[in-house]
Amino acid sequence: MEQRKVIIGNVFKEHRNTLPGLSEKETDDIKTALEAGDLSLAAQVVHESDEWLKKTELNVAITGESGAGKSSFLNALRGMGDENEGSAETGVTETTKEPMRYQHFKYPNVIFWDLPGIGTPNFQPDTYLEQVAFSRYDFFIILASERFRANHMKLAQEIRRMQKKFYFVRSKVDLDLYNEKHKKGFNEEIILEKIRHDCIKNLSGEGMSSPQVFLVSSREFQKYDSPKLQKTLLKELESHKKHIFLLALPNLSKLILEKKKKALQRQIWKQALKSGAIAAVPLPALSVKCDIGILVDNMRMYCESFGLDDISLIVLASQVRKSVPELKAVIKSPLAKDISKETAEKLLTQATGEGLMVTKYFLSMIPVVGTVFASQKSFTVIYKMLNSFLDDVAKDAQRVLTKALAEEERTNE
């Protein structure tokens, strides 16, 4: 048993002091289990943590006056266009009569709510929050397409009084810029700063101290203050909700792609630990089968998180007015649908340079020490394979983004 503890300690020493993606209690439980040489208990804690992450809900409320572009903004935040199937209904008149619930098409526990416009006869600021079931939302995004008025301020004050977060977003700035382009001396930066100053001035005039306003365009969601807004939202969310919200964000900026990669990298040790725990049981066929399952599940998830799946590519192609084959041409990794058990098994064999089943079988024949070495090998192989695949997928996502935006800019010239 002492020998088992020493070997396991060496295998997982890289992760024993800092265990990302876990609560303080979960971290303590895993450390205790690893120090006792109990891999199965450590793996159970990891499994429960992953299940908790899957069940965690994030509810985002989009509100503002009628006609502010709430539905279009909600669609953009979900990585969808207004015409895509399942998108929120948009129109020139108020289309939202009651809170409308929209799940993310990949992450159903990330839920966006299109709220009725404030200031309409049926929704006044003093009763609005009660009418739209205030308590279920994690934070509010308050939109205005022209200027912020007293209604926006009153709503923000009520939200603050109830100790929740809110963010002011000035929408449709692309239309403002378009309307100014024909004027002599047009300067985009000056116009945007003028819009920002006007918004802050109006909010300050209504009693809001040091307001921050984000300028966005739902039609060009990768531009203006959208990346800054997304970064701010992520910064102020708690760990589990931050993780699922990050994965759900559209892949329209290098910053988001980099953050996604880092977040997913921090989870890889968990999957490797599961593999190592299963390999500690002297059943090589079961161990290899579980390794393949771990690889398939995570590789598919990486592809979907970075938009390397058919649905995401179709949506992106429609947004940048390019064809799907053009975007696929820069992708070197397999798409989510192409990752199968056979693919994972082939990659496993390549990674080990030999039949993993045979290796684990012979190791399992050595009492105690053999199963521990099998555990070590499984942990190392899965850890390296997932890191390598994630790195490849992240690079593909960067290439797709560069291709999409470069072509879009050329089209707009």
CB neighbour list of residue 245: distance below 8 Å, 6 or more residues apart: 58, 60, 110, 233, 234, 237
pLDDT at residue 301 in the model: 93
Chain centroid, CA 96 distance in Å:
26
CA atoms within 13 A on the CB side of 63: 32
pLDDT < 50 positions in the chain: 1-11, 14-18, 92, 282-286, 357-358, 360-371, 407-413
**For the domain 57-248, what is the CATH superfamily, name and number?**
P-loop containing nucleotide triphosphate hydrolases (3.40.50.300)
pLDDT at residue 369 in the model: 40
pLDDT at residue 161 in the model: 85
What's the 3-state SS for the chain? CHHHHHHHHHHCCCCCCCCCCCCHHHHHHHHHHHHCCCHHHHHHHHHHHHHHHHHCCEEEEEEEECCCCHHHHHHHHCCCCCCCCCCCCCCCCCCCCCCEEEECCCCCCEEEEECCCECECCECHHHHHHHCCHHHCCEEEEEECCCCCHHHHHHHHHHHHCCCEEEEEECCHHHHHHHHCCCCCCCHHHHHHHHHHHHHHHHHHCCCCCCCEEECCCCCCCCCCHHHHHHHHHHCCCHHHHHHHHHHCCCCCHHHHHHHHHHHHHHHHHHHHHHHHHHCCCCHHHHHHHHHHHHHHHHHHHHHHCCCCHHHHHHHHHHHCCCHHHHHCCCCCCCHHHCCHHHHHHHHHHHHCCCHHHHHHHHHCCCCHHHHHHHHHHHHHHHHHHHHHHHHHHHHHHHHHHHHHHHHHHHHC
Q: How big is the CA angle at 253 (ends 252 and 255), to the nearest 5 degrees?
A: 145
Q: Are 99 and 113 in contact (CB under 8 A)?
A: yes
Domain edges within the chain = 2-54+252-412, 57-248
Alpha carbons 141 and 166: distance in angstroms, whole number: 6
Predicted confidence (pLDDT) per residue in 2-44, tens digit:
444 444 444 455 444 445 566 677 777 777 776 766 667 777 7
Residue listed under structure tokens 């899957």? 54
